């Protein structure tokens, strides 16, 4: 009898042990945003994290690990344990452009597992109010007339705002002097204060300052206007046809993270993206939800690799030097 009872409790503890070993999460999850607080990456992630914790049943800590165009924050994720408790936010800049600019010490595709595609938005060309231009052609003329290159705020070499600046230079036949920040949140503060001349910024970051009239917008880098900023013309309408750029974003985890944990993180993000209140908050910033058929981890992986194939030749041709 005693042997049977003992065997039962041994089996029970093994089951419970396994059950506890398989339960995820059992403590707070950290989502690393590789840019400073108050910027567009940070804003989007905090909105999503607030809803993701409901599905996951654990606190989500958003940590801003900044520097080097976001590559320091991505490296923090790459070198974290593959247990699902460290998740990385990133976008076209950090998970594509950085690979063409920096000697990263990690591989953007092979050292990370894709989790889910997140919202995207076009870029918007904005200037300080002191610039005497009321249209994109007038802005281009002003930029070309400056004795020294105008200053353009970015979130560092390889950031989305930097890649967009390079594309603006090429499309407009202009030269800019880049001023790097740890994110476009602080860059925008300096634009409002008149300390720098322009930013090619994520619309979601500049939209409220444009609405308030503290900066001036010239065009969005898309073929159609954004409903929430319908008074801003497209680059096609404003005189730079074909200068289109969409900054997409996503979540990744370290390579080797168990598939069932990736699935749980993906499901929590999809729940957040499908939540009407979350969608309203994000869409009010001019953000566009990812297509419903592109929400699998595999879809993000395929998209990232296609974007690498598209952008690396362009960025390498720009011969960007990072000190
Ligand atoms: C970028 O320029 O890469 C981002 O907008 C930076 C940020 O999110 O702060």
Domain positions in the chain are 28-120+247-317, 121-238
What are 152's two structure tokens?
């353009």
User: Helices in 23-70 by DSSP H: which ranges?
Assistant: 40-56
pLDDT of residue 21: 53
- Find where tokens 């610039």 sit: 131
241 pLDDT higher than 70: yes
pLDDT of residue 314: 85
**Atom of ligand 1 at shortest distance to CA of 187?**
9
Ligand 1 site: residues with CB under 6 angstroms? 35, 39-41, 93, 155, 159-161, 183-185, 202, 205
pLDDT of residue 17: 47
What are 218's two structure tokens?
């010239």
Q: Give the closest residue (by CA) to ligand 1 atom 1.
A: 160
**Of residues 212, 45, 240, 36, the one with CA closest to residue 123:** 240
**Atom of ligand 1 at shortest distance to CA of 202?**
5
Query: Which long-range contacts link 174-177 to residues 24+ away (Cβ below 8 Å)?
Result: 174/140, 174/143, 174/144, 174/149, 174/150, 175/149, 176/143, 176/149, 176/150, 176/151, 176/152, 177/148, 177/149, 177/150, 177/151, 177/152
**Of residues 247, 261, 171, the one with CA closest to residue 203:** 247
Task: Quote the CA–CA distance of 68 and 97 in Å, as a whole number.
Answer: 12
How much is the mean pLDDT over the chain? Answer: 93
CATH superfamily to which 121-238 belongs: Periplasmic binding protein-like II (3.40.190.10)
Crossing angle of helices 259-274 and 276-284, rounded to 10°: 70
pLDDT of residue 20: 47
Other CB atoms within a 10 A radius of the CB of residue 10 amount to 10
Task: Quote the CA–CA distance of 220 and 240 in Å, as a whole number.
Answer: 10
Q: Which helix (H) or strand (E) holds 201?
A: strand 198-202
Q: How far does the centroid of ligand 1 lie from the alpha carbon of residue 198, in Å?
A: 15
CATH topology of domain 28-120+247-317: D-Maltodextrin-Binding Protein; domain 2 (3.40.190)
What are 310's two structure tokens?
């598209």
Q: Give the closest residue (by CA) to ligand 1 atom 8.
A: 41
pLDDT digits (tens, 9 = 90+) for 200-233: 999 999 999 999 999 999 999 999 999 999 999 9
**Atom of ligand 1 at shortest distance to CA of 33?**
8
pLDDT of residue 19: 45
Same fold for the pair 28-120+247-317 and 121-238: yes
pLDDT digits (tens, 9 = 90+) for 42-66: 999 999 999 999 999 999 999 999 9
pLDDT of residue 1: 57
Task: Quote the CA–CA distance of 306 and 294 in Å, as a whole number.
Answer: 14
Pocket test for ligand 1, best of 39, 157, 165, 190 (most atoms within 8 A of CB): 39
**Atom of ligand 1 at shortest distance to CA of 155?**
2
């Amino acid at each position: 009898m005693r042997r049977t009872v003992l065997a039962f409790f041994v089996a029970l503890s093994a089951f419970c042990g396994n059950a506890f070993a398989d339960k995820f999460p059992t403590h707070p999850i950290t989502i690393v945003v590789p840019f400073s607080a108050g910027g567009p990456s940070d804003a989007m992630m905090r909105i999503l994290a607030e809803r993701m914790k409901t599905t996951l049943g654990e606190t989500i800590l958003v940590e801003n690990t900044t520097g080097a165009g976001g590559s320091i924050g991505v490296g923090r994720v790459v070198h974290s344990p593959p247990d699902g408790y460290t998740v990385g936010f990133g976008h076209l800049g950090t998970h594509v452009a950085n690979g063409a600019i920096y000697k990263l010490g990690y591989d953007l595709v092979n050292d990370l597992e894709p989790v889910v595609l997140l919202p995207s938005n076009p870029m918007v060309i904005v200037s300080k109010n002191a610039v005497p231009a009321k249209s994109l052609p007038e802005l281009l003329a002003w930029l070309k007339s400056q004795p020294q290159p105008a200053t353009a705020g970015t979130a560092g070499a390889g950031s989305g705002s930097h890649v967009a600046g390079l594309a603006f230079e090429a499309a407009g036949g202009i030269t800019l002097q880049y001023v790097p920040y740890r994110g476009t949140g602080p860059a925008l503060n300096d634009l409002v204060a008149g300390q720098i001349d322009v930013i090619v910024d994520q619309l979601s970051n500049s939209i409220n300052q444009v609405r308030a009239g503290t900066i001036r917008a010239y065009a969005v880098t898309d073929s159609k206007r954004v409903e929430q900023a319908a008074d801003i013309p497209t680059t096609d309408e404003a005189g730079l046809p074909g200068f289109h750029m969409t900054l997409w974003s996503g979540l990744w985890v370290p390579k080797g993270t168990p598939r069932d944990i990736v699935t749980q993180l993906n499901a929590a993000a999809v729940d957040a993206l499908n939540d009407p209140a979350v969608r309203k908050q994000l869409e009010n910033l001019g953000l566009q939800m990812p297509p419903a058929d592109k929400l699998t981890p595999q879809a993000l992986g395929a998209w990232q690799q296609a974007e690498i194939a598209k952008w690396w030749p362009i960025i390498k041709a720009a011969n960007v030097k990072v000190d």
